[in-house]
Amino acid sequence: MHPIRLGLVGYGKIAQDQHVPAIHASDRFELVAVATLGQRCPGVPNFSSLAELLAEGPAVDAIAFCTPPQGRFALVEQALKAGKHVLVEKPPCSTLGEALALIDEVNAAGVSGLFAWHSRFAPGVRNAVQWLEGKTLKQVRIDWKEQVRKWHPGQAWIWQAGGLGVFDPGINALSIVTELLPRALFVESANLSVPSNCQSPIAASLQMRSGENVQVVAELDFDHSVNEQWSIELHCDEGVMRLDAGGAQVSIDGVAQSVSEEGEYPAMYGHFARLIDAGKSDLDLQPLRIVADSFFVGSKETVAAFYE
């Protein structure tokens, strides 16, 4: 089977740390070209724009997008018009309207698309899916706290309108929970803390519900200590499962469990390859919808200015 020839748009921190290593480790994909305005990716041709890559670069079958969500819609649309399969890093766009339009355009183009909620591919999520079978879930507790200066240094777009602020990492937790819950998740209330010099929140507290009986609470913080906390607790009548380290670690009633050794980005690219093989797409928007609802119903509190 010939490898899928992949182009990459955007070569920032997430592409360098996660996408490129996962692509190189895959036997299904071959990275053949990169479009970037910043640091150049070694070992492959680099282009200053997607248009230049498509016009002058080597042939590609699929394109992965790692640019900020603002302005991403037009880039993905360009790739779809060229008949390319697309993988779109989370969040797929800066608005629900753009993301919904992309779903229609993927379907119209007859290609495969993946909105890449990478945290759903954390190894512990598979454990949680199996453990929840036949159990009565009552409450979910999310604590998603990290230091933005460590994980997103110098990335001013996060604080601009559409950059999502604390929801940029927090949406990872929401992507896991929406994968695990059997019914839709709704935001009942949200408190958003917005620095006086920013347009996006640096912290948020959410009260949510799924169905009639499952209460979901989330505490999100983007100015936490350097010791990040990415945890989700699943409370059932039969016990408590806890996912830590973003879903890489699992315990049940305090007892550590074994998990797969496959990382989330390699697993995600494996999923993308299978979608292409099957002529299917995976374009779920529930995590982004919950963020949009949080902004819609949330109360906003102005807090101290944020400086790196």
- Residues with catalytic function: 90
65 vs 58: CA distance, rounded Å: 17
Exposed/middle/buried for 70, CB within 10 Å: 0-12, 13-18, 19+? middle
Report yes or no: 32 and 54 within 8 Å, Cβ to Cβ.
no
Helix, strand, coil fractions of the chain, as percent rounded to 5: 35, 30, 35
Q: Which residue has the tokens 């928007």?
A: 285
Virtual CA dihedral for 56, 58, 63, 67, nearest 10 degrees? -50
Bridge partner residues of 31 (DSSP) = 6
With residue 221 as reference, give the H or E element that holds it.
strand 214-221
Largest Cα span, the chain:
60
